[in-house]
Amino acid sequence: MEYIPNILFALLLIAGVGYFTRNVKKLSRNIKLGKDVDRSDNKSQRWKNMGMIALGQSKMVKRPIAGFLHIVVYVGFVIINIEVLEIIIDGLFGTHRIFKDVLGNAIYGFLIGTFEILAVAVLITVIIFWLRRNVIKLKRFLSAEMKGWPKSDGNIILYFEVVLMTLFLVMNASDLKFQDAEIGNVISQYLHPIFEGNIEMAHIVERAAWWIHIAGILIFLNYLYYSKHLHILLAFPNTWYANLNPKGQFVNDASVTKEVKLMMDPNADPFAAPPEGEEEEEPAKFGASDVQDLNWVQLLNSYTCTECGRCTSECPANLTGKKLSPRKIMMDTRDRLEEVGKNIDANNGTFVDDGKSLLNDYITTEELWACTSCNACVEACPVSIDPLSIIMEMRKYLVMEQSAAPTELNVMMGNIENNGAPWPYNQMDRLNWKDEN
């Protein structure tokens, strides 16, 4: 009978970690649906970016208030959950605060005291975040794409953090042995008087808080897959694999480059056979109309999006009333990718055409052509997401596969083809402007 709690704990841990592993595999499968792209260059810069941006939160603090509050929650939540390791050991082996004996009173007291201070800091910060979303109602949280689940998700995660931090403090406050030792109880000592009058009740509350705390952490772990807070895990690989090229540099399509070179070389034979040992490849689909046409880093971007709205708040098209929202581009890409993943799950690992696509069913051409390609959204993102690259791929599809460019763009391209410039003037007449008074 004495081992029943340990067995129950082990089953709970296996179930929680097992379900999380299942979701990670599904997540990895979905991301790998994208086209291959090589992002293994300049490893030293990539490690630096990951350390500075994902771990160091360097882009978050560009907005000092929100950045500081986020760092408090980030540091507090991560460090406090170091205690989860102690809980796991205690739960599996039936010990009680095993690290106290291993580390000694001084070190253990310092750690727990720090955890308690951080827990209070996280509670205060989470309340401020809740007020910003629901009372102050900052404009960037009120966009059309933030209605329904995205809004609920933003609040649910805050409630999670309040519950987990409160349980941590209650667990410490009702632990009579911990309180009697007077080490690290810098905050919980003020809650302890509630429990010291009834030893039996204190023990029940401590055990209940302990069990609910670890169960809550496992539930939170598995909730991440369904939440925007998946960025807690994905921000690190996302910043490592980010594009290191200058932001104004776009990727040239190899097949288009080849055609342009043939056009510019008067001695080139467009009908010449390929060099020996090489095969003539049929041109691939130009651009992207669905998530499978994007590369895997772009799909990773979609899952990493924090929905913070910094990209949209910096977008000049959005600020002037256009329909474009870079945040919505990322959210739509993730939603479509999830839909494709569920389709594959339902059809024994094979995607069956559902008559839908990312283009038109999720993202409209109006949104795509509203973009000025200024890279403001890319610069603003705190975890190096690139909405513009998706927009440009979808534009490429519209122009090169569907000939569906706006009239103004078609006129410009026609002028370039006929006159060698975007303007409707014959090459011989280009310098006439200098004769005007």
Q: Are residues 107 and 181 in the same domain?
A: yes
Q: Are residues 223 and 267 in the same domain?
A: no
Is residue 201 included in any domain, yes or no? Answer: yes
Is residue 86 included in any domain, yes or no? Answer: yes
Residue after which a domain boundary falls, among 182, 216, 240: 240
Q: Are residues 354 and 208 in the same domain?
A: no
Report the pLDDT value the prediction gives residue 436, as an integer from 0 to 100: 63
Q: Are residues 309 and 203 in the same domain?
A: no
- With a cut of 90, say whether residue 1 has pLDDT above it: no
- With a cut of 60, say whether residue 437 has pLDDT above it: no
- With a cut of 70, say whether residue 274 has pLDDT above it: no
The reported pTM is 0.89
Q: Are residues 288 and 234 in the same domain?
A: no
CA-nearest of 167, 162, 251, 247 to 205 is: 167
Is residue 301 included in any domain, yes or no? Answer: yes
pLDDT tens string 337-393: 999 999 999 999 999 999 999 999 999 999 999 999 999 999 999 999 999 999 999
CATH number at residue 303: 1.10.1060
Q: Are residues 205 and 134 in the same domain?
A: yes
- With a cut of 70, say whether residue 212 has pLDDT above it: yes
Residue 275's pLDDT band, with cuts at 50, 70 and 90, is low
CB 291 within 8 A of CB 299: yes
Report the pLDDT value the prediction gives residue 433, as an integer from 0 to 100: 65
Q: Are residues 206 and 262 in the same domain?
A: no
Is residue 179 included in any domain, yes or no? Answer: yes
Report the pLDDT value the prediction gives residue 83, as an integer from 0 to 100: 83
Q: Are residues 186 and 261 in the same domain?
A: no
The residue whose two tokens read 């690190």 is 236
- With a cut of 70, say whether residue 277 has pLDDT above it: no
229 burial (CB, 10 Å; 0-12 / 13-18 / 19+) is buried
Is residue 430 included in any domain, yes or no? Answer: no
Q: Are residues 310 and 406 in the same domain?
A: yes
Is residue 38 included in any domain, yes or no? Answer: no
Is residue 426 included in any domain, yes or no? Answer: no
3 state SS for the chain? CCCHHHHHHHHHHHHHHHHHHHHHHHHHHHHCCCECCCCCCCHHHHHHHHHHHHHCCCCHHHCHHHHHHHHHHHHHHHHHCCHHHHHHHHHHHCCCCHHHHHHCHHHHHHHHHHHHHHHHHHHHHHHHHHHHHHCCCCHHHCCHHHCCHHHHHHHHHHHHHHHHHHHHHHHHHCCHHHHHHCCCCCCHHHCHHHCCCCHHHHHHHHHHHHHHHHHHHHHHHHHHHHCHHHHHHHHHHHHHCCCCCCCCCCCCCHHHHHHHHHHHCCCCCCCCCCCCCCCCCCCCCCCCCCHHHCEHHHHHHHHHCCCCCHHHHHCHHHHCCCCCCHHHHHHHHHHHHHHHHHHHHHCCCCCCCCCCCHHHHCECHHHHHHCCCCCHHHHHCCCCCCHHHHHHHHHHHHHHCCCCCCHHHHHHHHHHHHHCCCCCCCHHHHHHHHHCC
Q: Are residues 234 and 292 in the same domain?
A: no
Q: Which domain covers residue 315, as residue numbers?
A: 254-274+284-419
Q: Are residues 76 and 99 in the same domain?
A: yes
Q: Are residues 294 and 379 in the same domain?
A: yes
Report the pLDDT value the prediction gives residue 122, as an integer from 0 to 100: 93
Number of domains in the chain: 2
